[in-house]
Copies of this chain bind each other. A is one copy, B any other.
Amino acid sequence: MSQLPQRVAVREVGLRDGLQSIAVVLPTERKIEWIRREYEAGVREIEVGSFVPARLLPQLADTAELLAYARTLPGLSASVLVPNYKGAERAIEGGADLMIVPLSASHAHSLANLRKTPDEVVAEVAKIRAARDAAGAKTLIEGGVGTAFGCTLQGEVRVEEVLRLMQALLDAGADRVSLADTVGYADPRMVRELFGKAVEIAGERLWCGHFHDTRGMALANVYAALEAGVNRFDASLAGIGGCPHAPGASGNAATEDLAYMLASMRLDTGIDLPALLALRADVAGWLEGQSLHGTLWRAGLPQTFDTHQAARAA
């Protein structure tokens, strides 16, 4: 059996990747409660929003306020998505710990979604890096390579192209890179192979795996990535998020299900599962009528769970 990482970070992206695909605008005080309680439950990395124009995503218009709040929580890494240079300026100004610059390895998706080619995004990252360094800011830059396993618009995305773009991001000054299965096309074999190669190239700068559960394989893909040595995963509470073109389809891996799988596997996440489930129940109430996902909230923790935890602590 492969050596699995002993400590695994779960990064909550529900406030960004989740809420951006839900029409309801959650009030800022709810989001602050969400951040606070998830922090109290032991989550130490939260993507609080996205610096996009508010007219495009009114759901995320309060990102600066959330970032300011998140910065008050000791030891929390607060990240934001920045689709361009302007967004990066706001992230630096707001003192984000990390900003994620999305790049789509699919040309077609990149043009449709970002209105830039992938190589234009790489050039933008170089500019962002220069601005960050000039400002003497500590905000880390993560290049997030999306549609890394295929694309609904373009179809196949070649492994060589994904790895080339990842290397280009690193060369342009990204501190971290990550790979995302944006549309739920990955399977464990693909994940093991692509992440295996990515780890060879990027080493510890390969930061995160991001898996959508569109075809039920998010957790299987996490397991495959763990085997490749990846020790950080994006997830969203209640599995919110996902593709607007597939109504009802699952979104991201559900944070609570992911955290449970990792804990059951005796990998340390620092997360208090009952507290996370209690928060999940309240968020579900706030998002009533929206499409939520996950299994643990219904099935509950197994009877044997405490025994496992005790064994791990021993």
Question: Which residues of chain A have a CB within 8 Å of any CB of chain B?
Answer: 1, 4, 150-152, 155-156, 183-185, 187-190, 192-193, 196, 213-217, 219-220, 222-224, 227, 246, 248-250, 254, 257, 260-261, 264-266, 294-296, 298-300, 302-304, 307
Contact = CB atoms under 8 A, between A and B. Distances in A.
A217 B216 contact: no
Interface core residue of A215, A216, A219, A223 (most chain B CB under 10 Å): A216
A265 B189 contact: yes
B156 A307 contact: yes
A152 B303 contact: yes
Contact of A304 (B155, B219, B248, B264): B155
A212 to B, nearest CB: 10
Nearest to A305: B185
Contact of A220 (B1, B155, B196, B220): B220
A299 B249 contact: yes
A85 B296 CA distance: 38
A292 to B, nearest CB: 13
A246 B299 contact: yes
B254 A302 contact: no
Contacts of A254: 216
Given A188-B265, A250-B295, 11 more contacts: A1-B189, A150-B303, A151-B303, A152-B302, A156-B304, A187-B265, A214-B295, A214-B299, A215-B257, A216-B254, A220-B223
Contacts of A187: 261, 264-265
B246 A215 contact: no
A274 to B, nearest CB: 15
A280 to B, nearest CB: 14
Given A156-B304, A257-B216, A298 B249 contact: yes
Contact of A302 (B150, B222, B299): B150
